[in-house]
Amino acid sequence: MVYASRIINHSKKLRNVPNLMRHDHAVSVRCFSSGAQSSVCRSEAAERERVSKFVPRNPVPSSLSRNNYSGTTTRLGTPIGGVVFGRRFSCLQVQSRRGFASDAGLPPHQEIGMPSLSPTMTEGNIARWLKKEGDKVNPGEVLCEVETDKATVEMECMEEGYLAKIIKGDGSKEIKVGEIIAITVEEEEHIAKFKDYSPSASDSGAPAEKEPAAPPPKQEPVEQPVSSPEPKSKPASPPSEDRFFASPLARKMAEDHKVSLSSIKGTGPDGHIVKADIEDYLASHGKEVSAPTPKTKDGKLEALDYLDIPHSQIRKVTASRLLLSKQTIPHYYLTVDACVDKLLGLRSQLNSLQEASGGKRISVNDLVIKAAALALRKVPQCNSSWTDDYIRQYNNVNINVAVQTENGLYVPVIRNADKKGLSSIAAEVKQLAQKAKENSLKPEDYEGGTFTVSNLGGPFGIKQFCAIINPPQSGILAVGSAEKRVIPGSGPEQFNFASFMSVTLSCDHRVIDGAIGAEWLKAFKGYIENPETMLL
């Protein structure tokens, strides 16, 4: 009877479960009603109205960036303090950020974060501050120079105020995107209150330190019955050179010839090493005497003399991108020799005209860029890049040109090279190369390339080499030096001299098949050996 009554009570409770679930569902629906959503949207709108006034002078428009806060890919708007507000954020994706705050008794102020100035930027360096603490800042004035992963960019102010505190001074390195670098205020009398200000770990972008784990609870000692200790066997010592058994004569011969007994297998009784074993070893390995190890006066090894050179931002980016290219892109290489006698003759004629008109001299590399651009227009399959869902074929022919500087390797871009004249290409290449050496390239000077040309022949005399593809491109042309060769003449015993230049095309086999790469090289060689066709 007792069990029966319990079952009846439980059955009565189970009858009310549907009503309780309907009640909870209604409460959940009310919590996420349209009114609640509109309030979130209103908070988003308010947040956008409070967006900071500091933007870089050269923002990167219409390029995709990975938003570090929402985890979604959006089109860049204005990078402020490391947070990028795009056009395609939903209401719940906007992360709240303290704009003008008054916590901890501080007056209203603005926290300036490290901005994201390029699609691949995750951290940056402060090259130098052009404004000092206490200076007034006006719209259009430059606050500081930020060294990104590709160039040095100026960050300017859009509204007036006062620079109250510089968190990251000149030369600060490896500052994460979003980490606070400075504080500004509206009133000059508020500057002194930020003299000893330091941002919290959550505001500076640094990960919060983990709280130390609580110590495990102490266990009460449990008395165990005392047992008599068991005798332990002494561990056997590992064999050393002194443990190898050898006859006195064999041991003396080994010492005289600097031979280790551990490398000789004994053939005597019980494995003893005898004279014959030493003689056989010396006959098979030669009577070599090991060179003495160089030691200092106190008997210690002499330390190596070296210099540690810190990684620059451009060196880090170059290393990561080239490693990614070699690990993920299936490279293959095609090499061809092109006769450049007619090309050199045309260049000489054009330079005479350029000098008469005061223009820039045309180099062989300028003619190579023009020929490569026209070959890409003729074989557009090589002017493409690989994605997971499709192959993107570009209508613009933008040629990146590799430029080596003291700071590292830069690849400024010549846009629409197939449509420009040789004089325009020559002037633009010289201008961009000078900016690269001065470390003053802007994002629009190196972004948007579809193909790359690397020339080590003219400046360094390299005969032939294979270049690494610059992702996301699918091809790069490595240009070697021109050299004179003997070629057969018209008669049986006649010969002529001609200058040939070796070029190697590195292709992404996912995009460019072997026959397509060969077709592009054939078109390129045709323009080089008959340069008049480039002028048509």
Which residues are annotated as catalytic?
A: 509, 513
| CA quadruple 377, 382, 386, 391: dihedral, nearest 10 | 60
Beta bridge partners of 78: 85
* Contact (Cβ atoms closer than 8 angstroms) between residue 476 and residue 451: yes
* Contact (Cβ atoms closer than 8 angstroms) between residue 93 and residue 72: yes
* Contact (Cβ atoms closer than 8 angstroms) between residue 98 and residue 203: yes
Alpha carbon separation from 219 to 181, 213, 225 (Å, rounded): 49, 17, 18
Instruction: Write the burial class of residue 332 (CB in 10 Å: 0-12 exposed, 13-18 middle, 19+ buried).
Output: middle
Give the whole-angstrom CA distance, residue 339 versus residue 40. Answer: 69
Give the whole-angstrom CA distance, residue 83 versus residue 93. Answer: 12
End-to-end CA gap in the chain: 107
**Residue given tokens 């990614």 in the structure block:** 324
DSSP string of 485-524, one letter each residue? EEEE-SSTT-EEEEEEEEEEEEEETTT--HHHHHHHHHHH
Give the whole-angstrom CA distance, residue 506 versus residue 524. Answer: 14
Give the whole-angstrom CA distance, residue 320 versus residue 312. Answer: 12
Cβ of 84: how many Cβ atoms within 10 Å?
Answer: 23
Give the whole-angstrom CA distance, residue 120 versus residue 381. Answer: 26
Give the whole-angstrom CA distance, residue 7 versus residue 13. Answer: 10
Give the whole-angstrom CA distance, residue 397 versus residue 449. Answer: 8
Residues 6+ apart with CB under 8 A from 85: 48, 51, 77, 78, 94
3 state SS of 125: strand
**Residue given tokens 């009503």 in the structure block:** 19
Instruction: Write the burial class of residue 240 (CB in 10 Å: 0-12 exposed, 13-18 middle, 19+ buried).
Output: exposed
Give the whole-angstrom CA distance, residue 522 versus residue 505. Answer: 11
Burial of 105-133, coded b for 16+ CB within 10 Å and e otherwise, reads: eebebbbbbbbbbbbebebbbbbebebeb
DSSP string of 340-384, one letter each residue? -HHHHHHHHHHHHHHHHHT-PPPPHHHHHHHHHHHHHHHSGGGSE
